[in-house]
Amino acid sequence: MNSLLVMVVTFLLYILAYNLYGKKLGHKLFELAAKNLTPAEQINDRVDYVPTNRIILTGHHFTSIAGTGPIVGPVLGVIWGWVPALLWVVLGSIFAGAVHDLGALVVSMRHQGKSIGDITGPIVNPRARTLFFAIIFFCLWIVVAIFAILMASLFVKYPESVFPIWVEILIAMGLSWYLFNKKGSLLVGSIVAIALMYLTIWIGLYIPIRLTSAAWIVIIMVYIYFASTLPVHRLLQPRDYINALELGIAMILLILGIVVAPKPIVAPAVVASPAGAPPMVPFLFITIACGAISGFHSLVSSGTSSKQIDKEPNAVTVGYGGMLLEAALATLVILAVTTGVSRETWLATYANFAKVPTLPTFAEGGARIVEALGIPKALALNILAVFMVSFAGTTIDTATRLQRYVISEFGESIGQKWLTNRYAATLVAVVAAYLLAFRGSANVIWPLFGATNQLLAGLALLVVTVYLAKQKKPLGYTMIPMVFMIVITTWGMIGNLRNYLAAGNWLLSVIDAIVLLLEVWLIVEAWTVMSRIARGEIPHEAVKA
């Protein structure tokens, strides 16, 4: 199969899905209307609630949800064959992932921009709210730890990426000052910021900075403590916007490289039982999370993006469109790692599931594609390395900020006011993640991350479904992917638990078991409420304007 044909067909499907399905969901299912005031307009505290330009917010949202998830997952997922991996990315993103992201964003907007965990209280009941908070805490705990490990490993593997990554912080804060203090032109600021960014990528080739992985993890943890407590428009927004531009350029380079020199896909179409890999079902749907559907997205949608939407209809662009952009990235990743080498070389790289070098495999594959445009391989590698580290950094920043929200909201609900202090809550989040990061490797933690993350997606869809039931809206759009995700991920978590117990990994065994118990309890609570709605015991709720 030709890579250019695959890319064109899948991208056309994403465009059609956005215009035919996404807009229909926004208009008819969620009744988005510009006349409804958003939380950003109502509260506007200039720290977390900030009405934001749709394009800037889409960039921030996209980079926050993307991270290295749509790279690591697809790189590993193609071990079962490029066809099932691509089908899951395309169909999963259109009918599950984008619906999930949009639903979580809208429901949060209709509840003062509160997180999906917090709004579970009024939608389901207070007990379910506490259960959801606990599940979210475990998920974010794993996210911050695993992305710190990934960032550190990337710094060690590609020391040339260190200089541009840290200088980007200064560029982002300068862009914020120019746009918010000087009311400067977005176009001018964008051009200057991205030009400076790519200049630092070139400079980084000549000043590699080398430290150990352990040292980088400490530095990253210190950094995210301060970064996640700053006002959102001072660092998080502008840096995510720069990363979105950077990603856009990287994706354009990959697309042009495929157009200029399309290559055949050398990977097998389907591999039923690859060496060292768990069964395709359910683990394909857990391994490939970001790019198809990801519970972490519901935390971004309801934790930060819902606080920045300036007009309700823009939620379709940010929520549904942002997910499809991530699916497009995952598609390019699949093509990058399945083309450009001989079949023998590919089979040697994927000889064992546990030993696949995920991020370097994509970096090398992407560089081969970009080289077709005449860009030197060393520069192409650094462009892709910086892109990967930037996205991992964006995810860890956002996850830490979200964990702070969760800890603060939970602290308030149990009467522990000291946890509502953003510095104290952030300290709890960072210290917990640091302890987990030093207890395991990315390969050990990733299956638990994938399963917990996908379970969270199913539970977020469950909350959205209960919300729609109270609105007397059609439930099939969210209920079908909800049931699929809960069944698949429960299956996967039981498999993970067996593996962890067999390996004697008691920490991950305990986390897995606790999350499973919380899941069952939360489903029972939600089912009870759904039954009461069906019997007419809970009245219809009008859309909150």
Tens digits of residue pLDDT in 189-237: 989 999 999 999 999 999 999 999 999 999 999 999 988 888 777 777 7
Contact 379, 202 (CB under 8 A): yes
Q: Could you count the other beta carbons within 10 Å of the beta carbon of residue 11?
A: 16
Distance CA 94, CA 100 (A): 10
**For 413-426, how does the pLDDT look when each residue is reduced to its tens digit (9 = 90+)?**
777 888 888 899 99
pLDDT at 354: 80
pLDDT band at 182; cut points 50, 70, 90: confident
Residue in this structure with the two tokens 């594609």, named with its chain if needed: 369
Distance CA 135, CA 127 (A): 13
pLDDT at 344: 94
In sequence order, what are the beta bridge partners of 2? 264
Distance CA 179, CA 134 (A): 38
- Mean pLDDT of the region 464-489: 94
What are the backbone angles phi and psi of residue 309, rounded to the nearest 5°? -65, 125
234 vs 317 pLDDT, higher one = 317
518 vs 474 pLDDT, higher one = 474
**For 381-401, how does the pLDDT look when each residue is reduced to its tens digit (9 = 90+)?**
999 999 888 878 878 888 898
Distance of CA 73 to the CA centre of its chain: 11
Q: Could you count the other beta carbons within 10 Å of the beta carbon of residue 384?
A: 26
Contact 154, 165 (CB under 8 A): no
Q: DSSP label at 277?
A: P
Residue in this structure with the two tokens 């690859």, named with its chain if needed: 274
What value does the CA radius of gyration of the chain take, rounded to a whole number of Å?
Answer: 22
pLDDT band at 545; cut points 50, 70, 90: very low
pLDDT over 90 (residue 147): no
What are the backbone angles phi and psi of residue 347, rounded to the nearest 5°? -65, -35
pLDDT at 542: 54
pLDDT at 408: 85
Angle, to 10 degrees, between the axis of helix 126-157 and the axis of helix 295-303? 110
Distance CA 85, CA 418 (A): 46
Domains of the chain and CATH, by start: 3-269+285-534 (1.20.1740)
- Reference 233, options 405, 59, 52, 64; nearest CA is 52
Q: DSSP label at 26?
A: I
Percent of the chain scoring above 70 in pLDDT = 98
Distance CA 107, CA 485 (A): 20
Q: DSSP label at 119?
A: T
Q: What angle do CA 206, 207, 208 make, to 5 degrees?
A: 110
- Mean pLDDT of the region 98-122: 93
